[in-house]
Structure 1
Amino acid sequence: MALQKQRHRIALSLGLVHLLLVVAAYFGQVEGSWGFYYFILPDFPVFLLLGLSTKLLTNGGTWLVLGVLGTLWWISIGMFAGCLIRKRAERSYL
């Protein structure tokens, strides 16, 4: 039970950190669209989706999509990491 709480804590922490970084990059003094370059590698799957939809979104909408989908991406990475930690802990008990 404690490992499940830890998994959720890891996932939510990663998502929260990502969301705060997106907000900081959006409101920060970054020239042009350079703020997006901070997120290209960590949010690569999200950027693939953004590349397909950039003509449909305004600049603010693009940041909103990055904030929402990127945060969900990092929450899912945290959940996956939590599962790996749990499986490793179960294996060590055997």
Structure 2
Amino acid sequence: MPVFTKMSLRYTYNWPEDVATEISSSDDDVIDIKNGYHVLNYINVFFARKGLTSTDTFYKLEFILNERMPSTLETRKEITSFVLKAWNRIFYN
């Protein structure tokens, strides 16, 4: 299963030095959508849990996180719930 990297991202993110090694995959984790490490970790964990591998699917998920997700959602659990409900309603080109 591919693990996506910084080079895979289409949006611009912050890359704070102190965050790179402090990310887990708990449902209670707060995900900062402006933080590249958080976004990459979120997408890679989501893909692993759902058995996804497609680059197009990666871009769709990144699009949802950046363009469609309400800014009030913060935890991995809240974000995943939104993504799963919105997945088939949101068309990405």
TM-score, length basis structure 2? 0.32
Query: Which structure has the higher relative contact order (CA within 8 Å, separation 6+)?
Result: 1
TM-score, normalization: structure 1? Answer: 0.32
Larger Rg belongs to: 1
